[in-house]
Structure 1
Amino acid sequence: MNKTIYLALFATLFFVNVSQAQESTEETGSLNSGTIISQFDYLLRISNNYQEYKVVKKTNLDKIKANVLDSLGVFEKELAAIQQTVKAQQDKINELEAQVQDTQEELAKAEQARDSFFFLGLPIHKSFYNTIMWTIVAALLGAFLFFLYKFSRSHKVIALSRKNLAETVEEFEQHRKNTLERERKLKRELVDALNGR
């Protein structure tokens, strides 16, 4: 039984100490430090009740108003700093986008310069130049083959003409020899006839 009384007494003391500790922790806090929420909670705790209303001291209300305005000022400064940072970053983004645009334009110009060159003072794309060159090569090859054909044909005609000329010269020589022979024969006959008279 003594143990039960001691235990009950000990439990009662424990609960009294815990409730006093809670009340003392609830009483802590102030209007000079802590967050705005904790200051409002403190203001509610220290304010008096009148029917369904809370009665707040004017000094406490002025103090919390000043604290709220100070906090708003800090937040406005932070917001202004953040907005300035955002603006600076947006300016940097715009600058980088302009640089990217310039780089893309330079890349396009470099690719165009790589793929083209000036020929007779005119810019020509390499693929168009290749097409022109292969067209010229094909035309020259066609002309070469055409003239080769004409040359071989002319060569055959010339060879035939030379052969005919050689035959004509040979016939002419034969005819001349025959004519000379006849002339000699006639001269001899004439000489014989003149001598024989």
Structure 2
Amino acid sequence: MNKTTFLSLITSLFFVVASYAQDVSEETGSLNSGTISSQFDYLNRVSNNYQEYKVVKKANLDKIKSNVLDSLSVFEKELATVQQTVVNQQTKIGELEAQMESIQRDLQTAEQARDSFFFLGIPIHKSSYNAIMWTIVAGLLAAFLFFLYKFSRSHKVISIARQNLAETVEEFEQHRKNTLDRERKLKRELVDALNGKTS
């Protein structure tokens, strides 16, 4: 075997081994790791061309199919987890809304209790109570003023009546004195007249 043939054989063998090692390295590196998009790019790169078609190795096709199915399975699990999380959050939101409605009802009850109370067993709102109390106060004040007016008027009438009574008593006393004086005068005249007849 001559030297040239031997050298070309070794060179060819080196290229074949290097090419095979590169294919194995690329296949194990790209189809076993990376994103699905990068794996499809790798598959497109390593596939042979035949006219306007790509010839894909069956092992590579099976591997990418397995990778896609694995990724879909992972995505389905993640989607199920996300959906469960959404369901849990919706349940919590529903519970929080129910609690908020309960708190709103309690707040309304507390506000009603704060703004109203029971008077003689009847629930009365504070504004109604204030209106009733101010009406009663105004009525009592009006009654007081009315009775004060009546009392003042009665006092004046009594004062005038007392004055009239005093004047009447004075006139009566004067009249009695006048009557007594007249009686005395008449008695004297009568005594004088009787004395004059007897003498």
TM-score, normalised to structure 1, is 0.72
Cα distance, 1:114 vs structure 2: 1.9
| Backbone CA RMSD of aligned residues | 3.2
- The CA distance in 2 between the partners of 1:171 and 1:138, in whole Å, is 48
- The CA distance in 2 between the partners of 1:120 and 1:193, in whole Å, is 92
Residue in structure 2 matched with residue 75 of structure 1 by the alignment = 75
- The CA distance in 2 between the partners of 1:52 and 1:164, in whole Å, is 143
Residue in structure 2 matched with residue 9 of structure 1 by the alignment = none
Residue in structure 2 matched with residue 13 of structure 1 by the alignment = none
Do structure 1's residue 91 and structure 2's residue 87 form an aligned pair?
no
Number of matched pairs? 176
Deviations 1:141-185 (A, max 9, x none): 122111111111111111111122222233334444554555566
Q: Check 1:142–1:25 CA distance in 2 against 1; reply closer, same or farther (3 A cut).
A: farther
Percent identity between matched residues is 75
**Partner SS, residue 34 of structure 2:** coil
TM-score, normalised to structure 2, is 0.71
Amino acid at match of 2:122: L
**Partner SS, residue 157 of structure 1:** helix
- The CA distance in 1 between the partners of 2:152 and 2:51, in whole Å, is 132
- The CA distance in 2 between the partners of 1:26 and 1:37, in whole Å, is 20
**Partner SS, residue 63 of structure 2:** helix
Q: Which runs of 5+ in 1 are unaligned?
A: 1-19
- The CA distance in 2 between the partners of 1:159 and 1:121, in whole Å, is 50
Residue in structure 2 matched with residue 172 of structure 1 by the alignment = 172
Deviations 1:55-105 (A, max 9, x none): 223232222212111110000000110111111112212222222222223
Residue in structure 1 matched with residue 123 of structure 2 by the alignment = 123
Q: Which runs of 5+ in 2 are unaligned?
A: 1-17
Q: Check 1:26–1:63 CA distance in 2 against 1; reply closer, same or farther (3 A cut).
A: closer
